[in-house]
Chains A and B, each alone.
Chain A
Amino acid sequence: MVMEIGIVLDASRLARAPLETVELARLAEERGLDLVVVADEATGRSAGLDPWTAAVWLAGSTSRIAIGAPAGAATTPDPTDPEAPYPSVITKAQDSIDILAQGRIISDPSGWVVAPRGAKPEELASLAEADLPVVVPVDSREDVERLAALAAGRDHQGGVRRRSTAVRAQRKPNIDYDGVPASLADTAVEPGDPPYRSLSSTYLRGGAPGLVLRPRTPAEVSDAIEFARRHRHLPLGIRSAGHGISGRSTNQGGLVIDVGAMNTIRVVDPARRLVRIGPGATWKQVAAALTPHGWALGSGDYGGVGVGGLATAAGIGLLSRNHGLTIDHLRSVDLVLADGRQVQASREHNPELFWAVRGAGANFGIATSFEFEVDEVGEVGWAQLVLLSTDIEQSLRRYAELASSAPRDTTVFFVTGQPREGMSTIQLFAVVDNPDPDTVVARLTPFLELGTLARQQVVMTPYSGVMGNAADVGPNGQQGFGEPNSRSAFLPAATPEFAHDAAAMLRSGGVYFFELRAMGGAIADIAAGEASFTHRTPAFQLTAMGQNNQRLNAVWEPMRPHSDGLYLSFETDRSPERLLDAFPAPVLERLRTLKRRYDPDNLFRDNFNIDPQTTKEPRA
């Protein structure tokens, strides 16, 4: 028999010190206790807190733990009695909290047993024989911790993790929770579990998956895929670190396979600078691990991004003009395919799959390990500049000229938003891959004419100092909410007409974030046929984000004539014609042929899906 343990909070304490008392409920939740009950002991002259309001407040203040709410007293409706609530309204309130708190409210007062304050473990065990949760009155954090310690022993019984009734109440009917493979049962997270909130959302997108599977080995990834195959009716997100702008690594009510635990970084051949990296590592961790060797592997522009998502898309970053895309350094990748098979893809083994994974990886499998050949990279100049411009069109035009004609050791990204009262704030993120500070200054100086310098930070640092800009994701996980709206495009050349139209788009207010990533240099050294990511020759990658998708589409429209293709990592539009922007028709055709071979039933379908069954390509 499983003992469920909870706490009782005193209503008058809650009224006196609401914040501190709510903290006790949150602590109980954090420590894995099962239930919070507010005792309605109003004995004073004046009435105490309304018990229903208090219970709802606690439900809103917590996310997992069950809340015991007193059932409304059965009253006969009497419109003349100001103290008699309507039963129909009480029922509606109960239905509503069921929706809002997702089944966490227990409104049957005989749903728990109250133990005396400071009850001994034996007393609790004996009370638990009624097979109801046992709740104990608490006054302090110490009281909660004592109970938590007592409860800690009972969480794994017979090797199987137990879940309380309140947690199980939040299960989705269309997921076979009890059928989670044994290898994954211990690390799987359901909506009611303590870590759930930290795993449900991504960097920019809110989500509420029905189950998160967290494999630690390729074999466990196979198990997870097998489970996913039995749940083809659900969305399936694959997550490395959950930073992806498009937010495809979460969903509503579906499955997420989170490979975050597979994050080792290991040098396998120092002479050839071969490094094996797990998909769950972040680029900040990778950079930090490579710095002691005097090496670096270019990634994007943010250290919090995970390896898996970026290394299967392209990796257009601050070292790309000098060192190429991240995928250009990939020598081999281990994958688990839709049928659960573990395979290696490289130039020698499964070369077609190797081609496909470098650009369209999300359609073909779950990467479990990457082998990269990294570069020797010494100290670089790392600059973050803020400039103010009264003529954003001119600034864009000048930036584009400077950034594309700069030596390839110099990569400068340009970020701006809506001009405020005619004034645009421009942020420049620049890496000069040159150890000489004077050269760094010389390379950056021309960019100062883009506006009035408002802030500058220029340092000489290893690449790990560049990736170190990312804040670590704390124990609360990614906290995005709502749906991000982002458009991406490749710009073959930045023309004056582009600058004019981009300035108009920015002034419209429909875009709050607009970035140009300078490309060229080493990116274009590689032939377009090398990988399924084929956009080798654009001058820039553009990203625009807006609050309102419809509005964003409207203001983005003038960008289309200037652009050719898109980078799928920064695109949230899921309409099928975007596929042809990501993959030109011949590339898409080849990918589709491979998709038929490697994922004929279209298990991996949630991220720029290449449907194996479609024969006709969407119109561009």
Chain B
Amino acid sequence: MTDYGHDLLFGTFITPAAQRARQVVDLAVTADRAGLDLVSFQDHPYQASFLDTSTLLAFAAARTERIHLNANVTSLPLRPPAVLARAAASLDILSGGRFELGIGAGAFWDGIAAMGGRRLSAAQGVTALREGIEIIREIWDTTISGEVNYDGQYYSVNGARRGPRPAHDIPVWVGAYKPKMLALTGAVADGWLPSIEYLPRGADSIPELNALIDGAAHDAGRDPAAVRRLMNFMNVQLSSAPRGLLNGPPAAWVDQIVDLALRHGISAFIIGGDDPSITQRFGAEIAPAVREAVERERTPAR
């Protein structure tokens, strides 16, 4: 049993389709009104049919009231870290602390190169991400005087101004699957944000991947609980008969999510599918039931 004890978050993963821009924003508003905690969009700037994710995040943040927002996940190779840090902090300030930073080392290198980005190997990408996260946190940190100077393998800057400072401590959630990325996540990140469909054996892979993160956290002198474990579920369906993970009646969803929370320490559940009715029921029925059940299990019996 692994439960890192985080409060639970429920969110959606919305396709940022430019053709359906209005519905995309409506879906975010639906998630907000449904009482969900997170709305997120994938970031693939080279995908011509998608909206620019940073722009969409800021626009959707203005149209919503309570929900937090994040990219799921930002493609660092096309988002220079200081630029990203300032946009993130600005949106956090404007939205009253509702922005979180999902980030990844980059995928689809042909697309990245086509946009003018630099092609890196997987190992190089991990190092570049580590540097990027360091620069982002430096830019956010205005408690230190003096400019940011950084001399890395992949990024270097002299005399960058600090700030703006975010309204809240923006957590850095890393999309990671392979050992090096998982080690980076355990060592420096505030959260792990993969998609269950990309795990080699689905939910059965979680214990070993968690263990890699936990080990790296220990090695870095951190408490493994400092790394929240989030999970995307791209293929979900509400149906009358249980057919699989998050594919069945609400009661089955609740049982499955409670199990992932208590046994695997997953504390954020982000669903795809772009279906407003599932979004609504996720917020209105499923999330409260999961919270109640997890709360009950976590409270020591008297």
Contact = CB atoms under 8 A, between A and B. Distances in A.
A289 interface: no
A60 B154 CA distance: 35
Contact of A77 (B26, B61, B116): B116
Contact of A100 (B21, B83, B117): B21
B18 interface: yes
Given A56-B58, A547-B276, A82 B132 contact: yes
B81 A548 contact: no
B80 A49 contact: no
B157 A82 contact: yes
Q: Which of A57, A77, A83, A548 is most buried by chain B, counting CB atoms within 10 A of its CB?
A: A83
Given A57-B94, A93-B54, A83 B61 contact: no
Contacts of A85: 80, 83
Contact of B45 (A18, A44, A48, A88): A88
B59 A60 contact: yes
B240 A47 contact: no
At the interface, is chain B mostly helix, strand, loop or mixed? helix
A57 B91 contact: yes
B165 A60 contact: no
A42 to B, nearest CB: 8
Contact of A50 (B18, B81, B87): B87
A481 B51 CA distance: 21
B6 interface: no
B164 interface: yes
A609 B45 CA distance: 44
B78 interface: yes
Contacts of B145: 45
Q: Looking at chain B, what size class is its interface with the partner chain? A: 35 or more
A56 B54 CA distance: 10
A68 interface: no
B65 to A, nearest CB: 11
Nearest to B47: A92
Given A14-B94, A548-B277, A61 B62 contact: yes
A268 interface: no
B26 A206 contact: yes
Contacts of B56: 96, 100
B59 A88 contact: no
A93 B115 CA distance: 13
B93 to A, nearest CB: 5
A89 B160 contact: no
Nearest to A16: B93
Contacts of A101: 59
A208 interface: yes
Given A57-B91, A86-B117, A99 B21 contact: yes
A28 to B, nearest CB: 16
Contacts of A47: 86, 139, 161-164
B70 interface: no
B155 A80 contact: yes
B94 A54 contact: yes
A318 B55 CA distance: 50
B135 interface: yes
Interface string A92-107: 1101110111000000
A92 B160 contact: no
Contacts of A50: 83, 86-87, 89-90, 164
Q: Which of B116, B154, B156, B165 is most buried by chain A, counting CB atoms within 10 A of its CB?
A: B116
Interface string A26-51: 00000000000000000011111110
A52 B160 CA distance: 19
A309 to B, nearest CB: 25
Contact of A96 (B52, B86, B116, B155): B52
A57 B157 contact: no
Nearest to A547: B277
B155 A208 contact: no
A316 B145 CA distance: 73
Contacts of A79: 77, 80, 117-118, 154
A9 to B, nearest CB: 12
B109 interface: no
A82 B131 CA distance: 10
B127 interface: no
B115 to A, nearest CB: 4
18 contacts: A46-B164, A47-B161, A50-B86, A53-B86, A56-B55, A56-B58, A57-B91, A59-B62, A82-B83, A82-B135, A96-B51, A100-B59, A208-B22, A481-B29, A546-B277, A547-B281, A548-B275, A551-B277
Given A52-B55, A84-B80, A99-B21, 10 more contacts: A22-B62, A50-B164, A53-B91, A60-B58, A79-B117, A79-B154, A82-B160, A83-B160, A97-B59, A206-B22
Interface of A: 14-15, 18-19, 22, 44-50, 52-54, 56-61, 77, 79-89, 92-93, 95-97, 99-101, 206, 208, 481-482, 508-509, 546-548, 551
**Which 5 pairs between the two chains have the least Cβ-Cβ distance?**
A60-B62, A46-B163, A547-B277, A79-B118, A56-B58
